[in-house]
Amino acid sequence: MKPVFAKGTRAQASLSASAAKGALTLPVNDADSIFSVGELLFCSEADGSELECLGPVTAVDGVGVTVALGLASAKSGGAKVWTPETSLLWPLGRSAPLRRTYHSGVEVQRSVGGALYHTRLADPYWEEPLVFERVARADYAQYEGWFIDTLRGGVEEFTFVDEERRVSAVKILNTAVEQEESPAGVARVAIQLARVGTSYV
């Protein structure tokens, strides 16, 4: 799966019965009046646990919604399914290598007497770079618009789904775009993410 950015909730429903691990069709009453083919679908238990992205909706009718990716874990009746208010699907996967850095927020301080002690100065988070090579300018323009309009220039938290379908609440630390001269019309996009939780934003 290619990386996904998402934010907010447009439509939401509950499963009318339980669904087994691997299921592609989820039981949802009146699903065809709630969801549409092509929309990105998320699912979690009613309490928000077992959160996952199921990819786009491939079919929908009055008793269920079918998705591109099967459930990674079984879901109980009453589990939540929803589509994001806005989302951005990257047209290509990120470049290797992938490096994640854990920031504990703890620093070592030295007292007046010379003793060392640890103090927490910030909340912990994982820093993760997203680097995309050879991005067409038209595709980058979509990201730029989403970054400016939806994230208010990078201020807002949002949901990130990586290639392993792991869903995280993230913030952007900084961005850099390098325009390549050869061939013309492509860019290298580098985005520094801070994973701040596993919830949906």
pLDDT of residue 102: 85
Q: Is the dihedral of CA 26, 30, 32, 34 positive or negative?
A: negative
**Is 178 a residue whose pLDDT tops 90?**
no
For residue 34, give the amino acid letter: I
How far, in Å, CA of 128 to CA of 142, rounded?
21
Residue 182 is predicted with a pLDDT of 67
Contact status, residue 172 vs residue 152, Cβ threshold 8 Å: no
The CATH architecture assigned to 4-85 reads Beta Barrel (2.40)
The residue that leads in pLDDT, 185 or 161, is: 161
Greater confidence, 134 or 9? 9
Q: What is the mean pLDDT of the chain?
A: 89
Q: Please report which confidence band the pLDDT of residue 186 belongs to, taking 50, 70 and 90 as the band edges.
A: confident
Region(s) of the chain under CATH 2.40.30.180: 4-85
Q: What pTM, to 2 d.p., does this model score? A: 0.85
Q: Which helix (H) or strand (E) holds 144?
A: helix 137-149
pLDDT of residue 79: 97
Confidence of residue 124 (pLDDT cuts 50, 70, 90): confident
Strands 25-27 and 64-67: antiparallel
| Greater model confidence, 124 or 10 | 10
pLDDT, position 168: 93
**Local structure of 97: helix, strand or coil:** coil
Decide if pLDDT at 27 tops 80.
yes
Longest dimension (CA), the chain: 72
Q: Is the pLDDT of residue 175 over 80?
A: no
Read off φ and ψ for residue 60, nearest 5 degrees.
-150, 140
146-166 pLDDT per residue, tens:
888 888 877 889 999 998 899
Structure confidence at residue 11 (pLDDT): 96
Q: Which residues face 67 on adjacent strands?
A: 57
Position 69 confidence tier, pLDDT thresholds 50, 70, 90: very high
Tens digit of each residue's pLDDT (9 = 90 or more) over 70-118 = 999 999 999 999 999 999 988 888 887 778 888 888 777 777 777 777 7
